[in-house]
Amino acid sequence: MAMATAVPLPGDRDAQARALALWLGIALLLAALASLSHGASGASLWSVAQALVSGEPIPDRDRIILWDIRLPRLLTGILVGASLAVGGAVMQGLFRNPLADPGLVGVGAGAGLGAVVAIVLGGLAPAWLAARAGYHLVPLAAFLGGWASTLVLYRVSTRAGRTSVATMLLAGIALGALAGALTGILVYLADDRQLRDLTFWGLGSLGGATWPRIAAAGPVMLLALCTAPFLARGLNGLALGEAAAHHIGLPVQRVKSVAILTVAGATGAAVAVSGGIGFVGIVVPHLLRLATGPDHRFLLVNAGLAGAILLLLADLIARNVIAPAELPIGIVTAVLGAPVFLWILLRRRGLVDL
């Protein structure tokens, strides 16, 4: 006799999602402490805490490592991981497709092209611009590239005040291909030093995290993260289809516009400070949707927490596995995320039951 499968009731799903948020919050705190405590140097959070309790002076070296290197890196990892995961969750809700992510509409490719332009052609920039931008030139160019691709995408896919998601998807694929081609041309023109910079940027890293960079890109990511929860009701309504969402009184066009700008801001700023880091935006929201359901009231919050945890742990691995050298963090997320992504595809085709 076949056994009936218990289907969680909505109340059970909500309780599971709230409990998961609590556990993710605790896990994020532990991951943050681990990130601050471990590194290639011998400085640890524990040794500093002991010095504070005992009243002994803290060595300048330990203070600099914790305050000027690890702490900005920690905050950057949290913001970037949360931004990529929330951006993916919003994009999947907008397209009603669990395999969508910000890279699908060309935002990441546009930001990457901006970074490549700054690395290869930065020497041709006017002296006043190079002097003012300094080492922020590459992140600034990446951010502008992400926003420019978003603006083009929005203009192409919007007509008479209505945005076509299908047109946006096709235009995003075209923009991504164009950005990839232009990036390839610039890579072909790059010298050896620029090729090393391009390789490191393309694979992603939190090694360039500094307080000035957080001050430049952090507010954009924070604004996107604070805006995302207000999209939950609209994304839940869009899950029914645009026509049904319109009939229940949702401002569909406004929801789509705010969602697009939120994804562009989160992804563009994240790529600007960390380079290309894949799989966080697609894997994290999808796994959480499988665990606690598609309700965006909880999905967006939990995705932000889980994305931050994943990036902190990946950064911890990248810093310690071949210390004192450092792996690009994009390699770690790819190693962790690619098998999960393949599992998602096989599961959707019914080839695995787990």
Q: Please say if the pLDDT value at position 294 is more than 70.
A: yes
130 Cβ contact partners less than 8 Å away, ≥ 6 residues apart: 122, 137
Q: For position 303, what pLDDT does the model report?
A: 92
Q: Please say if the pLDDT value at position 8 is more than 60.
A: no
Question: What letter does residue 54 receive in the DSSP assignment?
Answer: H
Mean pLDDT of the 153-168 span: 72
- Tell how far CA 40 is from the center of its chain: 25
Which stretch, 81-85, 165-169, 201-205, 275-279, has highest mean pLDDT? 81-85
Mean pLDDT of the 298-309 span: 92
Q: Please say if the pLDDT value at position 257 is more than 60.
A: yes
Q: Please say if the pLDDT value at position 252 is more than 90.
A: no
pLDDT band per the 50, 70, 90 thresholds, residue 226: very high
- Return the half-sphere exposure (C-beta side, CA atoms, 13 A cut-off) of residue 283: 21
Q: Please say if the pLDDT value at position 146 is more than 70.
A: yes
Q: For position 187, what pLDDT does the model report?
A: 83
Mean pLDDT of the 296-315 span: 91
Q: Please say if the pLDDT value at position 2 is more than 60.
A: no
Where do we find the tokens 């008479």?
160
Q: Please say if the pLDDT value at position 214 is more than 80.
A: yes
- Tell how far CA 32 is from the center of its chain: 17
Own/partner contacts of 209-213, CB < 8 Å, gap of 24 or more, are 209/72, 209/73, 209/75, 209/76, 209/77, 209/273, 209/274, 210/68, 210/72, 211/68, 211/72, 212/136, 213/72, 213/76, 213/136, 213/139, 213/273
Q: How far apart are CA 272 and CA 286, in angstroms?
A: 25
CA 287, 290, 294 angle in degrees (round to 5)?
105
Q: Please say if the pLDDT value at position 7 is more than 60.
A: no
Contact 284, 310 (CB under 8 A): yes
Which stretch, 99-108, 122-131, 324-333, has highest mean pLDDT? 324-333
Q: For position 3, what pLDDT does the model report?
A: 45
62 Cβ contact partners less than 8 Å away, ≥ 6 residues apart: 43, 47, 48, 51
**From 137-141, 151-155, 188-192, 240-244, the region with the lowest mean pLDDT:** 137-141
Q: Please say if the pLDDT value at position 6 is more than 60.
A: no
Nearest CA to 81 out of 280, 297, 341, 313 is that of: 280
pLDDT band per the 50, 70, 90 thresholds, residue 132: low
pLDDT band per the 50, 70, 90 thresholds, residue 140: confident
Q: For position 9, what pLDDT does the model report?
A: 59
Token representation of residue 308:
């931050």
Token representation of residue 316:
């911890």
Q: For position 129, what pLDDT does the model report?
A: 66
Report the DSSP beta bridge partners of residue 54: none
Mean pLDDT of the 243-267 span: 82
Mean pLDDT of the residues in the chain: 79
3-state helix, strand, coil in the chain (%, to 5): 80, 0, 20
Tens-digit pLDDT profile for residues 59-99: 777 777 778 888 889 999 999 999 999 988 988 888 777 76
Mean pLDDT of the 207-216 span: 81
pTM score, whole prediction: 0.82
> How many Cβ atoms are within 10 Å of 86's Cβ, its own excluded?
33
